[in-house]
């Protein structure tokens, strides 16, 4: 008598399938036999999953899965099934469209990341808000707001909480017309990022008479503070420190000509303060200089004009653009150091 030892070869569910990142899925084959599960990923060689010898396997790891099924007579391998990972929605932030606080009957509009296939459910202090299923919400009560975002495969994640308070308008964010470092003689403009009913500016804690708009022009170093009041009488403040400094100046220049057109010229500049120097070579080619603190040095230079701009670290105040010439010589000329950048022809 011939016995047909049929062994199943199909994995359930039918794969490839897409599963939410971090969420377990159970893969199974027909029970009643012996099993060894096999896994591979991204073209790597397959390997046995040690100790996994039942007809089911639970995993949340994307990759390729196969099962070796056997009995005392036969051994077969199932088809290779692929498990794909679905990235979770990304509600990394809730965006307040105004300062996250209110007074009286005010409210704060909170917005979540928007995408056509997303659905939303908002919570306050961990409790579901009935009907709050849009990508934004008006928070008109003190508390901690969060949103759960789900995609078309019902993969979901929860945003960090956004606290809404009514103690005051809060800290007012201020913007500067440029970096916080300006040259002496410049003018900086400081502005409020939000609109309010009333404004008052202060300089180093002292009221600035007549400074009652949302922005102010300043030309002195120090701390500038804006005090505001909104339509419901809520108050808030914001501060910024502005620095006005003299541009960097050169205290010493070393220029070594290019002997015999061998591209061995050198420029070394010493400034009166730490600087960031941007160099361009002949034809406007950007160059990388060795810069440390107050010094900037270029080596192995061919003959030509080299242009630089020296700025204070962090941007802002910078010296005027200037140039240094490397000349070609017919022989070696020793290095010469000067204490200034200009001189008359024939002088030593």
Q: What is the band of 99 on the pLDDT scale with cuts at 50, 70, 90?
A: low
Confirm whether 12 is domain-assigned.
no
Quickly state the pLDDT bin for 7 (edges 50, 70, 90). low
Question: Which residue, 177, 169, 166, 159, is CA-closest to 140?
Answer: 166
- 257 and 327, same domain (yes or no): yes
User: Do 232 and 264 have their domain in common?
Assistant: no
First to last CA, the chain: 117
Residue 324 lies in a domain: yes
Q: Judge if 196 and 239 occupy the same domain.
A: yes
Query: Which residue, of 58, 86, 114, is where some domain finishes?
Result: 86
Residue 240 has pLDDT above 80, yes or no: yes
Residue 16: predicted pLDDT: 62
In this structure, the answer to whether residues 254 and 239 fall within a common structural domain is no
Rounded-to-10 torsion of CA 157, 161, 164, 167: 180
Spatial distance between the Cα atoms of 35 and 75, rounded to a whole number of angstroms: 10
Report the C-alpha gap between 336 and 257 in whole angstroms: 10
The domain tally of the chain equals 4
pLDDT of residue 23: 81
pLDDT digits (tens, 9 = 90+) for 171-196: 788 888 766 578 888 889 999 988 88
Same domain? For 239 and 299 the reply is no
Between CA 273 and CA 185 the distance in angstroms is: 19
Last residue of a domain, one of 38, 57, 86: 86
Quick one: 110 and 147 in the same domain? yes
Q: Return d(Cα 206, Cα 136) in angstroms, integer.
A: 41
230 has a pLDDT exceeding 60: yes
Tokens of 93: 């932030």
255 and 328 co-located in one domain: yes
- 23 shares its domain with 81: yes
Would residue 346 count as lying in a domain? Answer: no
- Asked if the structure places residue 129 within a domain, the reply is yes
**pTM for this one?**
0.42
Name the domain boundary from 60, 86, 112. 86
What's the confidence (pLDDT) of residue 345? Answer: 44
Residue 155 pLDDT class (50, 70, 90 cuts): confident
Do 237 and 196 fall into the same domain?
A: yes
In a domain, 114, yes or no: yes
pLDDT at residue 343 greater than cutoff 50: no
Residue 318 inside a domain? The answer is: yes
328 in the same domain as 261: yes
Q: Looking at the structure, tell me whether residues 63 and 27 fall in a common domain.
A: yes
Q: Could you tell me if residue 342 is inside a domain? A: no
- Domain assignment present for residue 196? The answer is yes
What is the pLDDT, as a whole number, of residue 73?
Answer: 82
What average pLDDT does range 223-239 have in this prediction? 86
pLDDT at res. 28:
87
Q: Note the pLDDT of residue 105.
A: 47
User: What's the domain range around 64?
Assistant: 17-86
Please write the tens of the pLDDT for every residue from 308-321. 888 887 666 777 67
pLDDT of residue 17: 72
pLDDT at residue 344 in the model: 42
For residue 198 the two structure tokens come to: 């009333």
SS3 sequence of the chain: CCCCCCCCCCCECCCCEEEECCCCEEEECCCCCEEEEEEECCCCCCEECCCCCCCEEEECCCEEEEEEEECCCCEEECCCEEEEEECCCCCCCCEECCCCECCCCCCEEEECCCCCCCEEEEEECCEECCCCCCCEEEECCCEEEEEEEECCCCCEEECCCEEEECCCCEECCEEECCCCEEECCCCEEEEECCCCCEEEEEECCEECCCCCCCEEEECCCEEEEEEEECCCCCEEEEEEEEEEECCCCEEEEEEECEECCCCCEEEEEEECCCCEEEEECHHHCEECCEEECCEEEEEEECCEEEEEEEECCCCCCECCCEEEEECEECCCCCCEEECCCCCCCCCC
The CATH code of the domain that includes 109 is 2.60.40.10
């Amino acid at each position: 008598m011939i016995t047909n030892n049929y062994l199943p070869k199909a994995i359930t569910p039918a794969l490839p399938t897409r599963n939410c990142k971090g969420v377990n899925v159970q893969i199974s084959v027909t029970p009643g036999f012996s099993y060894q599960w096999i896994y591979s990923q991204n073209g790597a060689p397959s390997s046995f999953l040690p100790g996994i010898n039942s007809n089911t396997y639970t995993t949340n790891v994307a990759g390729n899965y196969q099962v070796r099924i056997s009995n005392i007579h036969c051994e077969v391998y199932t088809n290779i099934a692929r498990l794909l990972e679905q990235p979770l929605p990304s509600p990394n932030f809730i965006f307040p469209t105004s300062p996250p606080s209110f007074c009286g009957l005010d409210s704060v509009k909170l917005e979540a990341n928007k995408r056509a296939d997303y659905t939303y459910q908002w919570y306050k202090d961990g409790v579901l808000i009935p009907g709050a299923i849009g990508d934004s919400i008006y928070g008109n009560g003190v508390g901690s707001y969060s949103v759960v975002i789900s995609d078309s495969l019902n993969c979901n994640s929860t945003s960090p909480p956004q606290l809404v308070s009514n103690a005051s308008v809060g800290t007012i964010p201020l913007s500067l017309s440029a970096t916080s470092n300006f040259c002496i003689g410049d003018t900086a403009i400081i502005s409020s990022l939000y609109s309010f009913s009333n404004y008052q500016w202060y300089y180093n804690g002292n009221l600035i008479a007549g400074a009652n708009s949302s922005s102010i022009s300043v030309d002195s170093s120090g701390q500038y503070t804006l005090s505001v009041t909104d339509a419901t009488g809520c108050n808030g403040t914001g501060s910024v420190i502005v620095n006005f400094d003299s541009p960097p100046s050169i205290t010493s220049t070393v220029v070594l000509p290019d002997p015999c057109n061998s591209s061995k010229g050198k420029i070394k500049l010493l400034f009166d303060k730490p600087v960031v120097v941007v160099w361009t070579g002949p034809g406007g080619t950007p160059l990388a200089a060795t810069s440390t603190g107050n010094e900037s040095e270029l080596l192995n230079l061919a003959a030509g004009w080299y242009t630089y701009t020296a700025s204070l670290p962090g941007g802002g105040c910078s010296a005027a653009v200037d140039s240094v010439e490397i000349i070609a010589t017919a022989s070696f000329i020793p290095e010469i150091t000067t204490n200034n950048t200009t001189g008359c022809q024939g002088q030593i």
